[in-house]
Structure 1
Amino acid sequence: MIRYILAFLLLINMCAFAQQRPLTDQAVGKLADNYNTGLYTAIYNQFTPEAKAILSEASIIQLYKENLLPPLGRITSWNYVDEVKTNANYLVNFERGKMRLKIAVRKDLLITYYEWLPVKPEKEIASPKNTALIKNNNPKQTKLQLLLDSLALDYLRDPNNSSLSIGIVDGDVSSTYFYGETKKESGKVPDEKSLYEIGSISKTFTAFLLAHAVNEKKIVLTDDIRKYLPGEYPGLQYKGTPIRIVNLANHTSGLPRLPTDFDTSPGFNAEDPYKHYTKEMMYQYLKSFKPDTAAGRRTEYSNFGYAVLGKILENIYQKPLEELVKQTITGPLKMSSTNFKIAESEMALMTIGYSETSGKPVPYWQLGAFNAAGGLNSNIHDMLLYLKANMANVNPDFILSHTETNRQTDQSTALAWVLSPFRGKTVIWHNGGTAGFSSWCGYIKDKKLGVVILSNSGDEVNDIALELLSLSLKQK
């Protein structure tokens, strides 16, 4: 439902050191030794005093002990790649994967900057499409349009991918670009009305509803979630610490990504995986769930947590989620084509979703009880309205939904929205993915720059969005 960009970033006192490889080699070697022997405090002590003033020792321990070690294991080797301006780049091999490391150090080997990034494997495309034949509306006149064209064609050269609808906000000007086909071999280029599943971007709508409920004094972020659930849940706490509403909204509840019985419950269908799981099943699972740590201690992305949050909002207002979204968000913003269920009259506008790996059409997902986590469909017209409303913080509900509630080492979470450092600024974003669709929506804080991308392929579009924002920022 979301594809997180795993990046841990620190940017403090960026001093330019020419040819700093001998220094960074030593620092990386020391970091690897400390990590492999579990000396996390020693890693913390590798940072400059200025860095320590911002980073906590606990955050470093969490990063290496909880975020890197369980999925990746120990570091087995590391190799210098190159040096760009003040940063040295390394490829770090772990027992169960690889990561890229950007790092800068002072002459005393103390770290001033570091960033862990995933290694995106090069995609082997056996029979790429002839990009000259890919239809689009891009006039290719400005630097940004030329970059967009290059990025879009590179994405669509993969025959598994079919179309892109891209919206860009720059100041008071919005522009839209459409590439490819809404259905393969149809020759039909998407337009501003073409519909896509937006996956986990739906969580930002749910977060807005929560902010609205808080501002209406219907709920408090620190409330115990059991206050709004039917029945008794004595085990839904850890040593007296309950799961609070805010923990559902920022993924620190301790609830799993999906219930452990999700794919073993009666009616499970891998092609439409969420349809079978009812709210009654959700409540029953919560009755048996016992947290293994206090809420707020660990960040673990949870679709289930957002499904629970959606049900809590329905319980508070005694209205279905669909009605709440229309009444509070899509109605006021005139987003008439953004819905959980597509009207029969608009089905012809729905693009066909394609598998990232096979390129074959896949069924649309029916999220049912998980609608709050990822059930919305939308188009570029509506999503640009939504993006601009978020960028402008048009009312207190938007402001609260963007307010930081949980800080990790490099980035923080508001209510659903992720706040990440980006080119010396902050990007506020969320992405989404279903079996046949990918999406991204975000903007640069305090700058009138934003991007929405919708694709009818499961292949993620994060990199395209960030490249477009990066060039837009440079041109400011």
Structure 2
Amino acid sequence: MNPEQMISQLAGFYNHDQFSEIYLLHADEFKQHVAEKTVMDFYKYDLKRGLGEIISWEFLETEQEVSAYLINFKYGELSLKITLTADNLLALVNWEPVHEEEEILNSRDPLTILSTNLLETPLQRFVDQLAIKYLQDPNNRSLSIGLIHGTHTEKFFYGEIQQENGTLPDSHSLYEIGSVSKTFTAIILAHAINQGKIKLNDDIRKYLSGGYQNLQFEGTPIRVIDLCNHTSGLPGLPENFEDHKGYEENNPYLNYSKEMIVEYLEGFVLDEPPGTRAEYSNLGFAILGMILEDLYQLPLKKLLEEVITVPLGMKNTTYEVPASHQDSFVAGYDHESGEAAGYWDLGAFKAAGGLKSDLDDMLIYLRANINDYTKDFSLTHHQTDVQAGYGRGLAWVTQFFNDDTIIWHNGGTAGFRSYCAFIKEKQAGLVVLSNSSKDVDDMALEILLYSMEGPG
């Protein structure tokens, strides 16, 4: 069977509601990690209920044994990437939104884009190709890219830290890393677990003052683990997030306080049992941060220093950039307009996305995760939930690509994007930092996979 025949078979089962047959198309390794019900629910509810039947498909490309197709549904379209095992079963199934090539107006001349890349190896030239493509868009500003392979580390810097100032970023240029901050919060939680202060299956009401009889559904409570893997049933943000007095569009988290989170929780009503469905929730991680602060009677900043940054020697990773480091804080830009976006003060939501860091610190952090620096780090990598196509540890996302398990997280704020990923078995990892709101995920993943499989 070739990939085209597999797509035809999958589409046939899908259109005839034979979702259990789709599950049987997967390799045994996939089935060991993903339950049949998870796959059936994904195709029945996540896909068919919203998009309808598959009408047609179109082959796009094959790269490193991954075949990509455009799948046309009755009410929309998605990209599907698959790989087959030797016995013609699905080893990889990755559904993604369709990324249409943007028409770039006033594209930059590649020769004018500043870079430290020496272009001496195939890997360096591959990185350059993708980085230049990203920065040819005049609304994107800079990239700081770090690669780890075994004991070797390689760094690349592109663009400029501020519009038309002609200054490249360097190892100590500070970026907002957004939701990559959640992985730091997860390590602090793992530290509390390993100290016996809290358990993943604990009802969160054990750590919240007040009764909160509403934070359960027919006897099933929200557990600590549900906050970590986004299965709590809580929304991404409180429904009144943009309606509260003091809301600032350019700094949206600034005035939403812990007291407002507590007030929101008191009136929140679950509509399904926690643990049923995944919905990415910054609110869930804000609550987790509050629990950890109450548990230790210490601010999150102090816990971050004690558990992670001081032991690792990460000197420039913090929630608040001190005055002495403000010159290192690069300007962030909105990709749509190209205008300066300003910085975000995450306040009560800092556990979900408030950290700032530089490339050197993030490479230290990446290597600590690759090498399981402590049992706190390693605990966060253990899978706690499985969805169709991916799983989650504590904050980290786990995903299979061919024979590799990639553990990753990304982040974004108004003017920044970040991506951090690693493959333990191959002692490989990657960090990408950008001071533009344009996603870096696809570029980062391509570089990571090439660094492992391509020539040096």
The reply to whether TM is greater than 0.5 is: yes
Which letter maps to 1:74? G
Task: Tell me the secondary structure at the aligned position of residue 450 of structure 1.
Answer: strand
1:328 to 307, 323, 326: 307
C-alpha distance in structure 1 between counterparts of 2:172 and 2:90, whole Å? 49
Q: Relative to structure 1, is the Cα distance of residues 149 and 111 closer, same or farther in structure 2, using a 3 angstrom cutoff?
A: closer
2:195 to 216, 219, 228: 216
Q: Which residue of 2 aligns with 1:30?
A: 12
| Per-residue CA distance 1:309-358 (angstroms, 9 max, x = gap) | 00000010011111111121111111111111110111111111000111
Is 1:390 the counterpart of 2:390 in the alignment? no
Task: Tell me the secondary structure at the aligned position of residue 316 of structure 1.
Answer: helix
Give unmatched runs, 5+ long, in structure 1.
1-16
TM superposition shift of 1:46: 5.6
Is 1:73 the counterpart of 2:51 in the alignment? yes
Q: Which residue of 1 aligns with 2:174?
A: 195
Q: Which residue of 2 aligns with 1:453?
A: 432
Which letter maps to 1:34? H
Q: What is the number of residues matched between the two proteins? A: 454
| Per-residue CA distance 1:359-394 (angstroms, 9 max, x = gap) | 100120000000000000000011111111111101
Structure 1 stretch displaced more, 103-112 or 303-312: 103-112
Structure 1 stretch displaced more, 241-250 or 283-292: 283-292
Is 1:168 the counterpart of 2:147 in the alignment? yes
Q: Contact 1:257/1:301 (CA < 8 Å) preserved in 2?
A: yes
Which letter maps to 1:236? L
Q: How does 1:304-319 map to 2 (within 5 A)?
A: 304-319=283-298
TM superposition shift of 1:44: 3.7
| Per-residue CA distance 1:184-226 (angstroms, 9 max, x = gap) | 1000100011000000000000000000000111111111000
C-alpha distance in structure 2 between counterparts of 1:110 and 1:194, whole Å? 46
C-alpha distance in structure 2 between counterparts of 1:204 and 1:427, whole Å? 15
2:37 to 23, 36, 58: 58
Q: Relative to structure 1, is the Cα distance of residues 275 and 28 closer, same or farther in structure 2, using a 3 angstrom cutoff?
A: same
Q: How does 1:279-358 map to 2 (within 5 A)?
A: 279-358=258-337
Task: Tell me the secondary structure at the aligned position of residue 446 of structure 1.
Answer: helix
Q: Which residue of 1 aligns with 2:247?
A: 268
TM superposition shift of 1:29: 3.8
Deviating 4+ runs (over 4 angstroms): 45-55, 85-89, 103-113
Structure 1 stretch displaced more, 421-430 or 187-196: 421-430
Q: Which residue of 2 aligns with 1:180?
A: 159
RMSD: 2.3
Q: Which residue of 2 aligns with 1:133?
A: 112
TM superposition shift of 1:448: 1.3
Q: Which residue of 2 aligns with 1:466?
A: 445
C-alpha distance in structure 2 between counterparts of 1:201 and 1:319, whole Å? 22
Task: Tell me the secondary structure at the aligned position of residue 331 of structure 1.
Answer: helix
Q: Contact 1:24/1:88 (CA < 8 Å) preserved in 2?
A: no
TM superposition shift of 1:43: 3.9
C-alpha distance in structure 2 between counterparts of 1:106 and 1:214, whole Å? 39
| Per-residue CA distance 1:169-196 (angstroms, 9 max, x = gap) | 1111112111000001000100011000
Give unmatched runs, 5+ long, in structure 2.
none
Task: Tell me the secondary structure at the aligned position of residue 147 of structure 2.
Answer: strand
Task: Tell me the secondary structure at the aligned position of residue 202 of structure 1.
Answer: helix
TM-score by length of 1: 0.90
C-alpha distance in structure 2 between counterparts of 1:385 and 1:374, whole Å? 19
C-alpha distance in structure 1 between counterparts of 2:439 and 2:263, whole Å? 34
Q: Which residue of 2 aligns with 1:150?
A: 129
C-alpha distance in structure 2 between counterparts of 1:91 and 1:261, whole Å? 38
TM superposition shift of 1:244: 0.4
C-alpha distance in structure 2 between counterparts of 1:102 and 1:386, whole Å? 30
Q: Relative to structure 1, is the Cα distance of residues 262 and 113 closer, same or farther in structure 2, using a 3 angstrom cutoff?
A: closer
2:94 to 107, 115, 133: 115
Task: Tell me the secondary structure at the aligned position of residue 177 of structure 1.
Answer: strand
Which letter maps to 1:246? I
C-alpha distance in structure 2 between counterparts of 1:108 and 1:390, whole Å? 34
What percentage of aligned pairs have identical amino acids? 44
Q: Contact 1:250/1:405 (CA < 8 Å) preserved in 2?
A: yes
Q: Relative to structure 1, is the Cα distance of residues 459 and 108 closer, same or farther in structure 2, using a 3 angstrom cutoff?
A: closer
C-alpha distance in structure 2 between counterparts of 1:221 and 1:248, whole Å? 9
Q: Which residue of 1 aligns with 2:228?
A: 249
Q: Relative to structure 1, is the Cα distance of residues 322 and 130 closer, same or farther in structure 2, using a 3 angstrom cutoff?
A: same
C-alpha distance in structure 2 between counterparts of 1:109 and 1:116, whole Å? 19
Q: Which residue of 2 aligns with 1:94?
A: 73
Q: Relative to structure 1, is the Cα distance of residues 344 and 471 closer, same or farther in structure 2, using a 3 angstrom cutoff?
A: same
| Per-residue CA distance 1:14-56 (angstroms, 9 max, x = gap) | xxx45x64x3464144134135xxx534544566788766643
Q: How does 1:33-44 map to 2 (within 5 A)?
A: 33-35=15-17, 39-44=18-23
C-alpha distance in structure 1 between counterparts of 2:431 and 2:61, whole Å? 32
Q: Relative to structure 1, is the Cα distance of residues 452 and 262 closer, same or farther in structure 2, using a 3 angstrom cutoff?
A: same
Task: Tell me the secondary structure at the aligned position of residue 351 of structure 2.
Answer: helix
TM-score by length of 2: 0.94
C-alpha distance in structure 2 between counterparts of 1:133 and 1:460, whole Å? 22
Q: Contact 1:310/1:321 (CA < 8 Å) preserved in 2?
A: yes
